[in-house]
């Protein structure tokens, strides 16, 4: 399998004008997910890219207001505020920018998605606006499997892909994280996760111990979603089984081959 550099770690230089000081382009990575804690699947890469000089931000379609899990709260606004705080904690642990929240309502993206003013269409418009305003170099989002089939995850994947593929100029690279066939650890709760033929996962991004440590700290922020044992063990488990030193991605929208390619 090819190992393709994921991020533009070396800053590119473009002259502003004759005689003016050169301007350094700061690579921008935008990760778009459905819920706070979705970022744990790519945590080391977010930490690594920020450490190497990229702007990195996570955008959440929903604030997870129905994910009661270990929170002790009922579904609703209080839970949403708690999970937004956990997401801010996770971004700080990863060393990236403050996250953004579209607050569209947990488990709503697939409801009559074609209707005017549906959460899905509002999300699509929000993504279009974000792409126009921030002009990211790379967008990371769920693949079509949604990780383990969650409807919000699948809708985020489809709608982000739609927004990116519409662009005729300045289209960012669109990357789906994937789990290589045969690397899921033998834990019953993880067996529902989708895996991918490694041949399709053509973008590998290695990380270092400090990036894994940051990802581990970020998982620890999600107290409402994971019990203590999971918070302590998830990042090391993924490191030893799924990642094995690199997070794996599929490039979603490859440019057409040129003459002679």
CB neighbour class for 173 (10 Å; exposed up to 12, middle 13-18, buried from 19): buried
Q: What pLDDT sits at residue 259?
A: 63
Q: What pLDDT sits at residue 11?
A: 37
**Phi, psi (5° rounding) for residue 176?**
-105, 125
pLDDT digits (tens), the chain, 261 positions: 444 455 543 333 233 333 344 446 789 999 999 999 999 999 999 999 999 999 999 999 999 999 999 999 999 999 999 999 999 999 999 999 999 999 999 999 999 999 999 999 999 999 999 999 999 999 999 999 999 999 999 999 999 999 999 999 999 999 999 999 999 999 999 999 999 999 999 999 999 999 999 999 999 999 999 999 999 999 999 999 999 999 999 999 987 666 665
Q: What pLDDT sits at residue 230?
A: 97
Q: Could you tell me if residue 106 is left (phi over 0), alpha (psi between -120 and 50 degrees) or otherwise beta? A: beta
Handedness of CA 203, 209, 30, 180 (dihedral sign): positive
Q: What pLDDT sits at residue 1?
A: 42
Per residue in 140-177, pLDDT tens?
A: 999 999 999 999 999 999 999 999 999 999 999 999 99
Q: What pLDDT sits at residue 18?
A: 34
Residues 6+ apart with CB under 8 A from 151: 107, 109, 110
Token match 């990863």: residue? 94
Q: What pLDDT sits at residue 255?
A: 74
Pick from 209, 212, 196, 213: which is nearest to 248 by CA? Answer: 196
Instruction: State the chain's mean pLDDT as an integer.
Output: 91
Q: What pLDDT sits at residue 257?
A: 65
DSSP state letters, 171-235: PPEEEEE--BTT-S-S-GGGTTS--B-GGG--EEEE--HHHHHHHHHHHTT-TTTS-HHHHHHHH
Domains and CATH numbers, the chain: 22-251 (3.40.50.10320)
């Amino acid at each position: 399998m090819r190992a393709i550099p994921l991020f533009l770690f070396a800053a590119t230089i473009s002259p502003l004008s004759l005689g003016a000081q050169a301007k350094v382009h700061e690579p921008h990575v935008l990760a778009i997910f459905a819920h706070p804690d979705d970022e744990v699947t790519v945590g080391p890469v977010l930490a690594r890219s920020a450490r190497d000089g990229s702007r990195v931000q996570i955008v959440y379609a929903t604030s997870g207001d129905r994910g009661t899990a270990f929170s002790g709260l009922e579904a609703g606004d209080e839970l949403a505020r708690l999970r937004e705080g956990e997401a801010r904690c996770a971004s700080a642990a990863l060393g990236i920018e403050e996250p953004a929240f579209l607050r569209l309502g947990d488990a709503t993206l697939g409801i009559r998605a074609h209707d005017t003013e549906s959460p899905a269409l509002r999300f699509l418009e929000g993504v279009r606006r974000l792409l126009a305003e921030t002009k990211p170099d790379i967008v990371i989002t769920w693949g079509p499997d949604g990780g383990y089939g969650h409807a919000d995850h699948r809708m985020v994947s489809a709608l982000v892909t739609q927004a990116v593929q519409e662009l005729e100029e300045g289209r960012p690279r669109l990357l789906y994280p994937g789990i290589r066939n045969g690397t899921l650890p033998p834990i019953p709760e993880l067996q529902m996760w989708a895996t991918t033929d490694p041949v399709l996962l053509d973008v590998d991004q290695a990380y270092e111990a400090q990036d894994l440590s940051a990802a581990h700290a970020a998982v620890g922020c999600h107290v409402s979603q994971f019990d203590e044992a999971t918070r302590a063990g998830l990042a090391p488990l993924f490191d030893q089984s799924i990642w094995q030193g690199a997070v794996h991605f599929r490039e979603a929208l490859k440019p057409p081959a040129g003459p002679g390619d």
